[in-house]
Structure 1
Amino acid sequence: MPAARRTLAAIVGTAVLGVPALVACSSDAGGDAVKVTATDKKCEVAKTDWSEGKNTLKITNKGSQVTEVYVYAQGDRIITERENIGPGLSVEITFEIKPGQYEVACKPGMKGDGIRQAVTVAGKAEEKPLDPRLAKAVADYRAFVQERVDSSLPVLEQFVAAVKAGDTAKAKELYAKSRHGWESIEPVAESFGDLDPKMDAREADLEPGQEFTGWHRLEKTLWTTGQITPDDHTYADRLLVDYKDLQAKVGTAEITPTSIANGAKELLDEVATGKVTGEEEAFSHTDLVDFDGNVAGAKKAFELLRPVVAEKDPALDGTLTAEFAAIDALLAKYRQGDGYVSYDTVGDQQRKELSDAVNALAEPLSKLAAVVA
């Protein structure tokens, strides 16, 4: 959840569990990549006039803190992002972009609004038609996102009703289920400005003056005091309003083959920085349900892009197919009924096994965008 800023402690925790702060990725852009140099106090973008269509950023972190880099459209709508860039590391992001005004933001410590640099994207004389297989992937992914959001609404409504009825046991039962759809399409949800921090911010990651609302605010009440208050009724109502706002907006999201591919990688980053560490669901310990949602969303993205990946890079296709199967098999070990065991029952060695599986999948997944660009 990029808008819910992660602490350095979270990054250290990830490293201890065996997931590197970032797995470097490569593309076929070579010398055409725009260099971005991030330090603790600067965000230097070597070229600020970009072309419409495919672009690649080569990001180098020369600072002392873990950083993340975003490309924002107006209203802080996320075009692309890369989190967990450790000191001394270089990574590449390949993405597609339309003409307009944008900002590149570097966020030392992965906090705040970031150090920003304005960029302009100019249009091209003619646009290459999209491969019909990729056009189908975009249409099918858009349908997948809408279906996930639509089908999760009734569960969220039941969760909100339980909170407002003061039924703590029922609300606990529905809490993780109401989040699963969100977790599977989170990169799209995050693209709509402030909806993510309002709905999904964690208490430990709040900025000064930021109100604690959304799922995790209710999670805290349910698993600490268990005493639902009138304030919780208000938070529940607000969560439902924000979710319906998301439901109305997802159909307008800008989706491209590279945004689908980068979104899959972002979902694996979500697992590495929040779910594997146990920091996402600090009170309920329902992290494995979120883990499952993130992996399911990433797998769907890959499956939709597979026709092109299998043709252009058969080795990558085979690796990703095998790694998704491996992580699905590992998750299955923790299934309990229609959910998962409480994450506080998963020991350090088991968590390391999970983090190793995430890392093994994240590295080849980082190459997906360059293949379909």
Structure 2
Amino acid sequence: MSTRTAVVVTLAAVVLTGCGTATPSEKSGGAIAVSASDDKCEVARGTADAGTITFEVTNKGSRVTEFYLYAEGDRIMGEVENVTPGLTRRLIIEVTDSGKYETACKPGMQGKGIRDAFTVTGDAKKSTDENEQLAEATKSYQRYVNSQAGALVDKTKEFTTAVKDGDVDKAKALFPVSRIYWERIEPVAESFGDLDPKVDGREDALDPGMAFTGYHRLEKDLWTTGLQPDSNAIADQLQSDIEDLAARAKTVELTPLQLANGAKELLDEVATGKITGEEDRYSHTDLWDFRSNVDGSQAAIAALRPVIEDRDPKLLTTLDERFAAVDAVLEKHRAGDGFKLYTELTPADIKEMSEAVDALGEPISQVAEVVAGQ
């Protein structure tokens, strides 16, 4: 993921401080304070009981930072990105298995971060084992992820084949189409920390020593530099990584909080990358990604709909209204089967889209707390 200048929250959700009912971690020891600076990551305590765990991350440094909880193999259990200096963001995650984990702050949002051991003790029942609605929500969303991952494999194959055939015009046409399915399930894809930078990394945001590969390398080849001697190899690697992702996605066990947090993350992707033209800087096909991120967010909320309707029906009404407003704004920029290029948008167009996304982001930031409040 690339460096961004706006404040966003990702897969592990930021929820508004002071809203809703207390989570289990707050009832048994309170939220865990994290003091992040440019060279330190001070976690108030290094243990927590299994269940719902809440971190409150305050950036006391001068650089934008991130906070992660990792399981074995750098699998991301939850994350808060783009915490700007002086701000505090809350992360709520469900961890039901005892064991050794790691916390990490990432000043500048790059590298492996400042890490420390974190232990989860005891075991807790999964929320999906105790609540039929939550169980069905995760099953529904898993079916969605699997269907999108399958289409991602197929459409990426069409794209990479066109690249290898040297058919630049066809490859350009297929580039935004193949990315639709990646963008819809991006939170799940990003949870596999080793795959995300290889598939979707931007050239200016790679860790030192990391090669520039994946979609955006081929995008640059197609629109800027021309196909390179190693473009075919890059295409083969992208296809292999996408097939790996699809296989992993079938086995990943999602929690209801990950659905809620993923819905917010997808909007944050829009608000800080697509809305600025940063994402697809060579092709300017950002609105395809914009639409796909919103689609993915809607899918997560749709899976959680019965839960939200029971616990906070007013919130659900607000979500429906604001999703509709975002949809209406996007439809203004349709062009045939796709969308206008980002470079065709006026400042007023961008401002209208940004305001609509921001208005939707506020109620979506409350969903994780509603889900955790059982």
SS at match of 2:85: coil
The superposition leaves residues 279-334 of structure 1 with CA deviations (integer Å, 9 ceiling, x where unpaired) of 11010000011111111111110111111111111221111111111111111111
SS at match of 1:276: helix
Q: Aligned pair 1:25/2:23, yes or no? A: no
Distance 2:153 2:61 in 1: 42
The superposition leaves residues 154-188 of structure 1 with CA deviations (integer Å, 9 ceiling, x where unpaired) of 21111111111100000000001001101010111
Q: Map 1:218-233 onto structure 2 (within 5 A).
A: 218-225=218-225, 227-233=226-232
TM norm structure 2: 0.92
Are 1:24 and 1:90, in contact at CA under 8 Å, matched by a contact in 2?
no
Q: Aligned pair 1:323/2:322, yes or no? A: yes
Counterpart AA for 2:51:
G
Q: Map 1:295-314 onto structure 2 (within 5 A).
A: 295-314=294-313
SS at match of 1:69: strand
- Number of residues paired by the alignment? 359
Are 1:67 and 1:83, in contact at CA under 8 Å, matched by a contact in 2?
yes
**Paired residue for 2:87?**
89
Counterpart AA for 1:34:
I
Distance 2:300 2:153 in 1: 22
Between 119-128 and 283-292, the greater mean CA deviation after superposition: 119-128
Are 2:15 and 2:369, in contact at CA under 8 Å, matched by a contact in 1?
no
**Paired residue for 2:153?**
153
Are 1:29 and 1:56, in contact at CA under 8 Å, matched by a contact in 2?
no
**Aligned equivalent of 1:78, options 59, 68, 76:** 76
Are 1:101 and 1:121, in contact at CA under 8 Å, matched by a contact in 2?
yes
**Paired residue for 2:47?**
49
**Paired residue for 2:180?**
180
**Paired residue for 1:193?**
193
Q: Which consecutive unaligned segments of at least 5 residues does structure 1 have?
A: 15-19
Quick one: structure 1 residues 75 and 345, their matched pair in 2 at CA, closer, same or farther if it must change by over 3 Å? same
Q: Aligned pair 1:263/2:278, yes or no? A: no
Q: CA deviation at 1:254?
A: 2.5
Counterpart AA for 1:29:
A
**Paired residue for 2:164?**
164
The superposition leaves residues 250-271 of structure 1 with CA deviations (integer Å, 9 ceiling, x where unpaired) of 0111201001111111111111
**Paired residue for 1:345?**
344
**Paired residue for 1:121?**
120
Quick one: structure 1 residues 126 and 178, their matched pair in 2 at CA, closer, same or farther if it must change by over 3 Å? closer
Distance 1:125 1:345 in 2: 52
TM norm structure 1: 0.92
SS at match of 2:276: coil
SS at match of 2:230: helix
**Paired residue for 2:360?**
361
SS at match of 1:233: helix
Between 125-134 and 323-332, the greater mean CA deviation after superposition: 125-134
Distance 2:39 2:347 in 1: 36
Distance 1:76 1:359 in 2: 31
Between 132-141 and 114-123, the greater mean CA deviation after superposition: 114-123
Q: Aligned pair 1:130/2:130, yes or no? A: yes
Q: Map 1:280-291 onto structure 2 (within 5 A).
A: 280-291=279-290
Are 1:327 and 1:358, in contact at CA under 8 Å, matched by a contact in 2?
yes
Counterpart AA for 2:306:
P
Q: CA deviation at 1:127?
A: 6.1
Are 1:66 and 1:86, in contact at CA under 8 Å, matched by a contact in 2?
yes
Q: Which consecutive unaligned segments of at least 5 residues does structure 2 have?
A: none
SS at match of 2:35: strand
Are 1:24 and 1:363, in contact at CA under 8 Å, matched by a contact in 2?
no
**Paired residue for 2:243?**
244
Are 1:36 and 1:45, in contact at CA under 8 Å, matched by a contact in 2?
yes
